[in-house]
Amino acid sequence: MLKTLLIQMTDPHIREEGRLAYGRLNTAPYLKQAIEHALALPQKPDAIVLTGDLTDFGRPQEYAHLRRLLAPLGTIPVYLLPGNHDDRQQLRASFPEHTYLGKTGPVCYGVDIGELRLLALDSAVLGASAGSLDQEQLDWLAAELSAQPKCPTVIALHHPPFNTLIGHMDKIGLLNGAEQLEAIVRQHSNVERVISGHLHRNIQIRFGGTIASTAPSVAHQVCLDLAEDAASAWTLEPPGYAVHALSDHGQIVTHTATVGQFDGPFAFHEPSGKLID
């Protein structure tokens, strides 16, 4: 039985209306389509978390455009995290009603979503592409986990705390704090997932006794090339998002939703129940 449904969208890279990312990609329609797709799911999401690179340059007009794109979500709670393309202070100024963002320092918060706990860390470093977690955030995380040791918990941040073997992205991954984060997670068996963005791909790894993952971008993807000298490049593979579903057993089952128009659904059986030959 499904108890809580958390949608993770990431890396929309929204520009000002009419501006193209990388001079050739209008990212806004992709986020719009992902939101429409999520709203059409048979089960209504309990919340949506966006794990960074909300905008491309962190400009006020970009956040204003993002706000308009998120409006169709209506009363569904939306939780935002900055990535390396964002400006955390401008994010706060553009979404003042999102009081969980705090007022200064890293965007670090804990919220309850149904019977699930979401703990968010801010791995963005001003003026840098790579990420880092400071000791204050790590101490905060350890205290939060110790305070609710039995609650199924998801930890979210932008930079994945593991190497992905996509070399040019690992060079700008979480360069500080990953080992300490894994050690903290290993001490708390109620951590069901460590989720992140940044990689624009669906990637999973065993991490601290649980599963750490990245989600595909709702827009463009990073090319899948594991060569050490792979070029930094993106592709218009199908966009997607992650669906983290908490069951009545207290475990999270994660699905990847692919956004787009595809043939189907088609029944496997005749209306009588007979298998179609």
Which pLDDT tens digit goes with each residue over 10-40?
A: 999 999 998 999 999 999 999 999 999 999 9
Residue 276, pLDDT > 70, answer: no
Taking residues 240-268, what's their average pLDDT?
91
- Shortest CA distance to 123 belongs to which of 84, 179, 80, 90? 84
Cα gap 62→78, rounded to integer Å: 17
Cα gap 13→25, rounded to integer Å: 10
Q: Which residues are registered as beta bridge partners of 207?
A: 210
Taking residues 81-103, what's their average pLDDT?
97
- pLDDT for the residue numbered 249: 86
Which pLDDT tens digit goes with each residue over 202-211?
A: 999 999 999 9
Which pLDDT tens digit goes with each residue over 36-56?
A: 999 999 999 999 999 999 999
Residue 277, pLDDT > 70, answer: no
- Shortest CA distance to 214 belongs to which of 43, 3, 10? 10
Taking residues 127-151, what's their average pLDDT?
96
Cα gap 117→74, rounded to integer Å: 22
Cα gap 245→4, rounded to integer Å: 6
Q: For tokens 């110790």, what's the residue?
A: 146
Cα gap 14→30, rounded to integer Å: 10
Cα gap 203→65, rounded to integer Å: 29
Encoded tokens for 96: 């003042």
The phi-psi region of residue 190 (left if phi > 0; otherwise alpha if psi is between -120 and 50; otherwise beta) is alpha
What percent of the chain clears pLDDT 90, i.e. is strictly above it?
90
| Alpha helix (H) residue ranges in 148-274 | 167-170, 178-186
Which pLDDT tens digit goes with each residue over 175-220?
A: 999 999 999 999 999 999 999 999 999 999 999 999 999 999 999 9
DSSP 3: E
Whether the bond between 77 and the residue before it is cis, its omega within 30 degrees of 0, is: no
